[in-house]
């Protein structure tokens, strides 16, 4: 009886913890069991003592006034003493944006309904028409070799077309003459243009991302909106935004650029304004901008505004024609020579109404920037990552089918199947995460943590797929020239890795550093309660946090032992097991993160290696979830299962590896080993996808399958005789000629090649093995294949001419 009652007691407590029951229910359960044992059951005295003590403790915890006075108050005083100071910029960054699915992942018990309540990613009819019309036409006008190696700029007619078609106004409301596209539409435009020219894509995406347009829409005065937004929409003004200083890159709070509040006599009238000095670099569109958005620290030493001296960061719009503004010199970003350069100014006077939002917005610049960055960072640079994955899938699959070695397409070799599988799986996962987040933005969310994840992890994934594409193409991708469609994108990879928060910084400090506070259900509440000296709020949050920790302490080992089988999946079928595995890993992640934060406290902000590993886990939990959602949105096509398996299994593997790395480096080593046993009682259970799955993905990319078409949808497919156009033409021709090729192989034991195809085709026709039409198809396929395999070459005179042609362009730019 004693053993049975003890088991009932322990199982009951575990069940209550599993379901996160309130404290009074724990107390009621313990009290009822204690009363039963004392009144009717013959049990050992020791168990009775345990039951009575447990009941007293649980009742004590359930009575809030008693608990608050005895336990919460001293803990509150201690917490306030150890809580690290938070800088103004840190607080503003935390205040920016919202949370969504990332908060569910931090719960340790994600509610999948929250994920599926998000509307399915779609484009409006107007957006689709714009992509099929002006975007398609713009892509046809672009020649990346001409842009980056000859002109060092977009051709004048391209610039004019971009302005005329209002490409620079995708985020501007229609009432001001803009296109007013959704985030989904904005991203789709940037993605398609990026598959043709990164230089053109960057030139278009920057005005539609963090910059004057978005700042004006959210924070500008009515007069500022009425003046600038129509002019920006029509392309009469070209904007840029200057934030980065030589001595203050990621650490914007240390920028030396300063505006001093002063008065100036203009046309006989005394005008209140600021005298601003700045030195900025890496500013996209600065060399051609007509209006300069500028971030600077603000100081009021004479008290002209009636308050303190140091007012914080402000943002202003300055016409570049203003006396003292230095602009026009260029930087040359590797691989993608979009307009980018420095800007400087010394004691430039600007009236107060040039401050974005006017005088009332003085000192609010950083919160304004964080507000915009919470959304903007998710759109453009991740769209370039999606474009890289799509084009790598399209062109590398085609090339691997066209290119023969040892009498077969190179894509049939297992060594090539591996990178092809990675390219396809990464591309599938990148688009899933990106489109889902765009839906969140279009619903009105501003998911700051997910935006950081997309920026860092999709640009890194792009680097991996382009590296794999380069490896498969070999020398074709190394030799530069108009026919090389990979090298400039490869050279430009560091741009997206570096800007809008370098990936090292984003991974090690932002994703989990902000995510732990913003997404955790109780941590921010505890911090705010301490700052507000609110004991009641602290008490509520603290003990809810304790219950949360206990619940995950029960859930993690049980889910670990069962592989997640005790949890529920929102769907049935082949993908159901992955939902349960995500459930299992979120519980392990949350328990581990909670204990790390508890042990390190304020020191965690300096534990960047641990933070980076937790960021990896959180990012891949999100990407696995997004990939599962995409599979459902696409109608659960069976032929896409290899892509789903590869992407999700890789993400789950990355989560598992990240957590094991945390355990190896846990602040208390013994606790790290214990946590590993609790969360992974049966060891590592999430390997990467097997070779059969990789083989299936590779074969999907080597032919025109429905899966391949879904994977590469939204790219620009050139129909011209340029680098990408020839590859696509050759791919179609090779597939069309495949029956004839097989007939020749079987009849003559010979493989058609550009060298022997005419003779073999003639022999095949004469022998009745193939028809005249098939012979023509075979010859065309080999002729086009020869063009694909060929690389560019230049005469010494041509190379000398290129050098001479570049000098006046550079001189003019400077």
SS3 407: coil
Q: Which residues contact 4 (CB under 8 A, 6 or more apart)?
A: none
Taking a C-beta distance cutoff of 8 angstroms, is the pair 173, 233 a contact? no
Taking a C-beta distance cutoff of 8 angstroms, is the pair 639, 705 a contact? yes
Distance CA 187, CA 384 (A): 9
Element (H, E) at 350: strand 340-351
Distance CA 591, CA 672 (A): 12
The CA-based angle 473-475-478, given to 5 degrees, is 95
Closest CA to 506 of 495, 514, 494, 518: 514
Closest CA to 522 of 582, 613, 597: 597
What count of other Cβ atoms lies within 10 Å of the Cβ of residue 797?
Answer: 8
Adjacent-strand bridge partners of 351: 273
Distance CA 606, CA 609 (A): 9
SS3 264: strand
Distance CA 349, CA 347 (A): 6
Closest CA to 343 of 435, 281, 255: 281
Q: Taken in order 445, 446, 450, 456, is the CA torsion positive or negative?
A: positive
SS3 25: helix
What count of other Cβ atoms lies within 10 Å of the Cβ of residue 408?
Answer: 10
Positions marked catalytic: 500
Q: Angle 576-600/669-679 helices, nearest 10 degrees?
A: 160
SS3 689: coil
Q: How many residues does the chain have?
A: 814
For tokens 């304020």, the residue is 602
**CA 544 to the chain's CA centroid:** 32
Closest CA to 740 of 727, 726, 724, 757: 757
């Amino acid at each position: 009886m004693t053993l049975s009652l003890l088991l009932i007691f322990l199982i009951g407590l575990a069940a209550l913890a599993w379901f996160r029951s309130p404290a009074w229910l724990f107390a009621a359960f313990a009290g009822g069991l204690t009363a039963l044992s004392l009144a009717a059951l013959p049990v050992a005295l020791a168990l009775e003592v345990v039951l009575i003590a447990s009941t007293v403790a649980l009742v004590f915890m359930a009575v809030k006034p008693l608990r608050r006075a005895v336990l919460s108050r001293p803990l509150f005083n201690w917490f306030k003493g150890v809580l690290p100071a938070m800088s103004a910029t840190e607080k503003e960054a935390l205040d920016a944006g919202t949370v969504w699915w990332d908060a569910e992942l931090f719960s340790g018990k994600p509610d999948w309904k929250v994920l599926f309540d998000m509307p399915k990613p779609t484009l409006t009819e107007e957006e689709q028409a714009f992509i099929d019309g002006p975007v398609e036409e713009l892509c046809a006008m672009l020649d990346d070799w001409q842009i980056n190696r000859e002109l060092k700029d977009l051709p004048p007619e391209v610039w004019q077309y971009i302005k005329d078609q209002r490409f620079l106004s995708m985020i501007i409301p229609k009432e001001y003459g803009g296109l007013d596209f959704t985030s989904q539409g904005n991203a789709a435009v940037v993605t398609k243009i990026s598959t043709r020219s990164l230089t053109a894509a960057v030139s278009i995406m920057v005005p539609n991302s963090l910059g004057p347009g978005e700042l004006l829409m959210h924070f500008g005065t009515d007069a500022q909106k009425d003046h600038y937004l129509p002019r920006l929409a029509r392309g009469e003004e070209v904007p840029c935004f200057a934030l980065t200083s030589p001595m203050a890159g990621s650490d914007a709070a240390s920028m030396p650029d300063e505006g001093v509040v002063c008065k100036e006599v203009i046309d006989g009238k005394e005008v209140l304004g600021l005298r601003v000095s700045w030195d900025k670099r890496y500013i996209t569109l600065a060399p051609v901008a007509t209006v300069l958005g500028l971030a600077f620290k603000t100081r009021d030493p004479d008290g002209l505004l009636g308050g303190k001296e140091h007012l914080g960061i402000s943002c202003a719009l300055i016409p570049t024609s203003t006396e003292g503004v230095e602009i026009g010199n260029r930087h040359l970003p590797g691989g993608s020579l979009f307009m980018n350069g420095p800007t400087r100014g010394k004691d430039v006077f600007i009236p107060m109404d040039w401050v974005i939002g006017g005088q009332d917005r003085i000192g609010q610049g950083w919160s304004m920037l964080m507000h915009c960055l919470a959304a903007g960072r998710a759109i453009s640079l991740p769209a370039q990552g999606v474009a890289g994955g799509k084009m790598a899938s399209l062109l590398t699959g085609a090339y691997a089918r066209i290119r023969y070695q040892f009498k077969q397409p190179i894509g049939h070799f297992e060594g090539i199947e591996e990178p092809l599988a990675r390219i396809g799986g990464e591309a599938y996962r990148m688009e899933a995460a990106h489109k889902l987040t765009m839906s969140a933005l279009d619903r009105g969310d501003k998911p700051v943590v997910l935006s950081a994840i997309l920026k860092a992890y999709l640009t890194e994934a792009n680097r991996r797929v382009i590296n794999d594409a380069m490896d498969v193409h070999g020398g074709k991708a190394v030799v530069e020239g108009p026919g090389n469609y990979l090298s400039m994108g490869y050279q430009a990879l560091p741009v997206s890795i570096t800007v809008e928060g370098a990936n090292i910084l984003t991974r090690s400090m932002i994703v989990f550093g902000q995510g732990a506070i913003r997404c955790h259900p109780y941590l921010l509440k505890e911090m705010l309660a301490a700052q507000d000296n609110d004991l009641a709020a602290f008490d509520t949050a603290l003990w809810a946090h304790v219950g949360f920790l206990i619940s995950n302490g029960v859930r993690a080992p049980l889910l670990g032992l069962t592989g997640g089988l005790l949890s529920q999946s929102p769907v049935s079928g082949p993908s159901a097991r992955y939902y349960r595995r995500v459930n299992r890993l979120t519980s392990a992640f949350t328990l581990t993160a909670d204990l790390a934060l508890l042990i390190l406290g304020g020191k965690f902000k300096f534990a960047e290696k641990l933070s980076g590993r937790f960021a990896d886990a959180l990012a891949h939990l999100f990407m696995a979830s997004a990939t599962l959602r995409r599979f459902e949105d696409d109608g659960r096509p069976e032929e896409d299962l290899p892509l789903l398996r590869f992407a999700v299994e890789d993400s789950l593997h990355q989560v598992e590896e990240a957590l094991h790395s945390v355990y190896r480096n846990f602040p208390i080593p013994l606790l790290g080993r214990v946590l590993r046993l609790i969360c992974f009682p049966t060891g590592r259970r999430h390997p990467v996808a097997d070779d059969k799955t990789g083989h299936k993905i590779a074969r999907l990319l080597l032919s025109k399958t429905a899966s391949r078409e879904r994977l590469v949808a939204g790219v620009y497919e050139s129909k011209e005789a340029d680098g990408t156009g020839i590859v696509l033409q050759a791919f179609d021709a090779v597939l069309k000629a495949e029956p004839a090729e097989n007939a020749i192989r079987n009849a003559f034991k010979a493989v058609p090649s550009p060298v022997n195809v005419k003779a073999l085709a003639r022999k095949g026709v004469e022998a009745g093995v193939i028809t005249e039409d098939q012979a023509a198809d075979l010859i065309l396929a080999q002729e086009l294949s020869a063009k694909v395999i060929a690389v560019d070459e230049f005469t010494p005179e041509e190379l000398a001419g290129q050098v001479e042609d570049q000098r006046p362009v550079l001189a003019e730019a400077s």
